[in-house]
Amino acid sequence: MKLLEKIQFADLDNIPQLIKDFLAGSIEDFRSENFSLQNIEQKIQARKEHFSSEKRSVLSQILEKQMRTVVLSEKQENHLNIIRDENTFTVTTGHQLNLFTGPVFFIYKILQTLKTSQFLKKKFPKYQFVPVFWMATEDHDFEEINHFKTFGRQYEINEKNGGAVGEISISDTDFIKNFESEFENSVFGTELILMMKEAYRTGYTLAEATRILVNRLFSEFGLLILDGNETDLKRLMIPVFKEELNNNSLLRESKKNVDFLIKNYGKAQVNPRGINLFYLSATRNRIEFDGEKFNIVDTDITFTKNEIEQELHSHPEKFSPNALMRPVYQETVLPNIMYIGGNAEIMYWLQLKDYFKSMQLPFPVLVPRNSMLWITEKTLNKIKKLELSPRDFLNNFQKITDQKVLENQKILDNIQRLESLLVSSFSELKDVSELTEKSFGNLVKAEEIRQLKSFQRMKKRLLRAEKRKQHELVSRLQQVYLTVNPSGIWQERVLNFSVFYADEGRAWLETCLEEMEVLQPNLLVLVN
């Protein structure tokens, strides 16, 4: 296993422009949220001032209770102890409860969180930094998380859903048999199978299964795992939830940033609602206010203003944050100074900056996670024979294909040369036409457009003809592309970690951790 190449996000077409601009520090309002030692120092001071001893006490008790359900390493024990100290802060990532972790970027997020906390300990020796994984147990979209893919097949679990996914009890374990048959002969297949059987037992909830699995993978690194679906944690959110119910604060206070993102980048990642909360009963349903009463959507449950406030104080556990409110919940109950997330996550976190300010809640440093691509020596050799590099298969593949098909075509060179001459000639003609009447100038412009379209048609016909003629080359290019990008999507968003772990075991985790970037996210291309 070796690192082949580091590709900066700025050089990748698939990275949103907002993320590129954020990393470059070119958005003035968001510079204080970039990864820099100065920004981190400021976040530490803000946390010291705003994170109360009461919150820290509640947090430490909940972590102690939850983590005692799994076997703890010495590092985890130490982190449970130091989280009580006012000079201890967290570095956090979070994710849904994907079956057997889902796509492999789940693993990358956690590894980067671990490495970043280690980095901060060295840079700020006066303080302690604890890595935390936030389990998104309250999501309700079971179809998003109930499967994972390997090279061989897709695995799926079928359970009744509708409420918080973390509370779903496992009854369907048929997928384990199929997984066992696929991996039983792999070098570390037995270890993978045992991990799966330990976590996904009949009667376990998905929250319990995910905690067991994540702990098995990362306990030795000191990772703490937190489930926010806890009454005492939600009790800390009562003032925030009350403000949201009564004043639609998140929608109102995030409007400026939402408008900025729409104007400059075409959209906001997540559109805020009037009330960004769900109500948990047998199902998880949105809360809406019709001007007179609060309605729980798709149910018969309604509350007056007084009734819903009473319900909030009596049963805070029944109120659940949506995707935009979840960061607020997390930053309220954790002494957090940094969040590591995917590009989409970072983009909707940025929407919330003004809202955080209005709630007098410190906003963390935001770090887009690294991406990774693993290729075999065989695939690398195929790429080299095509006189290409792995990054060519990560950007506009159609453009690369067209270039390869036409790269030795003299007729294309002539077409492009004549096209350039045409553009130059019409430029001179347009200058002259400005001295005559306007209608003549319009005629020149129209004729230029007509002739340039002819050249475009010629190039397209040439390309189609060459693709038919060079079908073997096109087929080789497509084959390599789908090897690098399974299902036409970046590898990390499709394949489960098991396909890499099966051959290398924990050495694969160690390599990922070693190569992971801290200061600047990249796409790392590695050979195995």
More confident residue, 434 or 350: 350
pLDDT at residue number 44? 97
Q: Which of 106, 20, 11 is nearest to 501 (CA)?
A: 106
Mean pLDDT of the chain: 91
Q: What are phi and psi of 114, to 5 degrees?
A: -60, -50
- pLDDT at residue 428, rounded to an integer: 56
Averaged over 45-49, what is the pLDDT? 94
Q: Would you say residue 484 has pLDDT above 80?
A: yes
Which residue, among 173, 157, 176, has the nearest Cα to 165 in the 3D structure?
157
Looking at per-residue confidence, does 476 or 429 come out higher? 476
Mean pLDDT value of segment 178-203: 97
Cβ burial of 141 (10 Å; 0-12, 13-18, 19+) is exposed
Q: What does 282-335 look like in DSSP terms, one character per residue?
A: SSEEEEEE-SS-EEETTSS-EE-HHHHHHHHHH-GGGEEE-TTTHHHHHHHHS-
> From CA 107, how far away is CA 254, in angstroms rounded?
31
Q: Examine the pLDDT at 244 and tell me if it is beyond 80.
A: yes
Q: Look up residue 264 and give its two tokens.
A: 């400059």
Each residue of 93-122: pLDDT tens digit?
999 999 999 999 999 999 999 999 999 999
Lowest mean pLDDT among 80-84, 162-166, 502-506: 162-166
Ranges 146-155, 434-443, 468-477, most confident? 146-155
Q: Is the pLDDT of residue 133 over 80?
A: yes
Confidence of residue 407 (pLDDT cuts 50, 70, 90): low
Residue-level pLDDT at 163: 84
| Spatial contact of 89 and 44, defined as CB atoms under 8 Å apart | yes
Q: What is the CA radius of gyration of the chain?
A: 27
Assign 130 a pLDDT band (cuts: 50, 70, 90).
very high
- pLDDT class of 403 with cuts at 50, 70, 90: confident
Nearest in space to 341 (alpha carbons), one of 509, 525, 116, 110:
110
Q: Where are the alpha helices (DSSP H) in 408-437?
A: 410-433
- Is 526 in a helix, a strand, or coil? strand
Q: Which residue has the higher pLDDT, 430 or 454?
A: 454
Tell me the average pLDDT across 290-313.
Answer: 96
- If phi over 0 gives left and psi between -120 and 50 gives alpha, with beta otherwise, what is residue 248? left
- Is the pLDDT assigned to residue 409 strictly greater than 60? no
Whether residue 435 is predicted with pLDDT greater than 70 in this model: the reply is no
- According to the model, what pLDDT value does residue 437 have? 61
Query: What are the domain boundaries of the chain?
Result: 2-231+323-374+503-527, 238-321, 395-484
pLDDT band at 475 (very low <50, low <70, confident <90, very high): confident
For the chain, the helix, strand and coil percentages under 3-state DSSP, each to the nearest 5: 55, 15, 30
What's the confidence (pLDDT) of residue 160?
83
The encoded tokens of residue 299 equal 């149910």
| Position 165 pLDDT exceeds 90 | yes
Does an H or E element contain 371, and which? Answer: strand 371-375
Mean pLDDT of the 453-482 span: 73
Q: Tell me: pLDDT of 123 over 70.
A: yes
